[in-house]
Amino acid sequence: MRPRTYSHSGVVTPQGLLLGLVAGLAGGLVLGAVYGFVIFINPFIYVSVLATVAFGVAMGFLVAKTMKAGKVRNAFAVAAVALLAAAFAHAVGWLVWLAKFMEDVEDFEAVYLLDPEVLFLLIAEINELGPWSIRNSEPVSGWFLWAIWGLEALIVLGGATGYAYLTAAEGVFCEPCGRWCSDDQVLLVLSAAPEHETTRLKAFEGDLDAIEQLPPPEAADSRYVTVKVARCEHCGKTNTLSLVEVQHTVNSKGEDEQSETVHLDHALISKEQLERLERHAAAQMEEGDDFDDDEETFEVADGAA
């Protein structure tokens, strides 16, 4: 029988919502202005694409981190606030870009941009003329430019929303005492050798006996299983156990590549079960295993929201 796994309660706290909105709008004002300015002055398309991605991700990060600090346990709510904040930030970016673009035009004042009618007529006009060109060719204009602008908006809004969702879905919250638990930490590393398959499959079901029976991997093993735990450091009532198989491969360039398969995703365990695993880990450390990879901590994206 598989143990119950952790998932967010879905709670949206008023202070978390407020924090996310304030940080998202204030941050959006600053980041949007910087973004609009960078897009205006920088001539390299590569840099612009990178700036667009970074802008979206930064907005998602900002909203997710502040809302999690405000104890929001609802990834959809976080994603929705991130979408709103990113849309605001992107609009600020547009205004700054337009203000810079029109700077040298006689009789033009930046405040005109606050009139929606003027704003949209101006954007349509700029689109028709083409504000920039690629390598001295004809200016990019018309439907092709609309498509680029659309793609840009999609990257900013999609990047912010997606990143915020994934960040918000991560982590374990202790409902009894109302705090976030520690991040996942690697407690043990186990062999994934074929001869232990039956035991390993039992371990993947959350069987602590099986986990204790599995030996540590050999130093040369490119495949092994990490046992990760997250705990409430305050009341000790909420603890989770995750089992992640790690496979190292060497790619065509001779670089090490690592892929992970989650076999047990944040199963809820008792304080006693956690302590039992810790005792086992301590005993194994004393036996002096030569596997030197166990200092590493990994972040596992928790798909369950």
- Rule CB under 5 A: say whether 271 interacts with Zn ion: no
Whether residue 146 contacts residue 127, with contact meaning beta carbons closer than 8 Å, is answered with: yes
- Rule CB under 5 A: say whether 235 interacts with Zn ion: yes
Least distance CB 173 / Zn ion (angstroms): 9
CA atoms within 13 A on the CB side of 302: 26
Contacts (CB under 5 A) with Zn ion, residues 177-206: 177
The closest alpha carbon to 64, from 76, 50, 52, belongs to: 76
- Rule CB under 5 A: say whether 233 interacts with Zn ion: no
Q: Which is nearer to Zn ion, 139 or 178 (CB)?
A: 178
Using the rule CB under 5 A, which residue among 80, 83, 232, 269 binds Zn ion? 232
- Rule CB under 5 A: say whether 172 interacts with Zn ion: no
And the tokens for 167?
A: 């960040």
- Rule CB under 5 A: say whether 25 interacts with Zn ion: no
Give how many residues touch Zn ion by CB under 5 A. 5
Residue 19 falls in which region: left (phi positive, over 0), alpha (psi -120 to 50) or beta? alpha
**Which span sits near Zn ion by CB under 5 A: 71-79, 176-184, 203-211, 256-264?**
176-184
Query: Can you list the positions of beta strands (E) in the chain?
Result: 132-133, 139-140, 173-174, 179-180, 185-191, 223-231, 239-250, 256-269
**Which span sits near Zn ion by CB under 5 A: 48-56, 235-243, 255-263, 289-297?**
235-243
Q: Which is nearer to Zn ion, 97 or 173 (CB)?
A: 173
Q: What 3-state class would DSSP assign to 268? A: strand
Q: Which is nearer to Zn ion, 234 or 271 (CB)?
A: 234
- Rule CB under 5 A: say whether 174 interacts with Zn ion: yes
Using the rule CB under 5 A, which residue among 202, 234, 263, 280 binds Zn ion? 234
- Rule CB under 5 A: say whether 29 interacts with Zn ion: no
- Rule CB under 5 A: say whether 276 interacts with Zn ion: no
Q: Which is nearer to Zn ion, 25 or 177 (CB)?
A: 177
Q: Which is nearer to Zn ion, 119 or 177 (CB)?
A: 177
The closest alpha carbon to 276, from 182, 198, 211, belongs to: 211
Least distance CB 304 / Zn ion (angstroms): 19
Least distance CB 174 / Zn ion (angstroms): 3
And the tokens for 125?
A: 């006009």
What is the C-alpha to C-alpha distance for residues 8 and 273, in angstroms, rounded to an integer?
Answer: 22
Angle, CA of 280, 221 and 263, to the nearest 5°: 60
The closest alpha carbon to 60, from 10, 20, 19, belongs to: 20
- Rule CB under 5 A: say whether 219 interacts with Zn ion: no
Whether residue 166 contacts residue 297, with contact meaning beta carbons closer than 8 Å, is answered with: no
What is the C-alpha to C-alpha distance for residues 94 and 131, in angstroms, rounded to an integer?
Answer: 13
> Which parts of this chain interact with Zn ion (CB under 5 A)?
174, 177, 232, 234-235
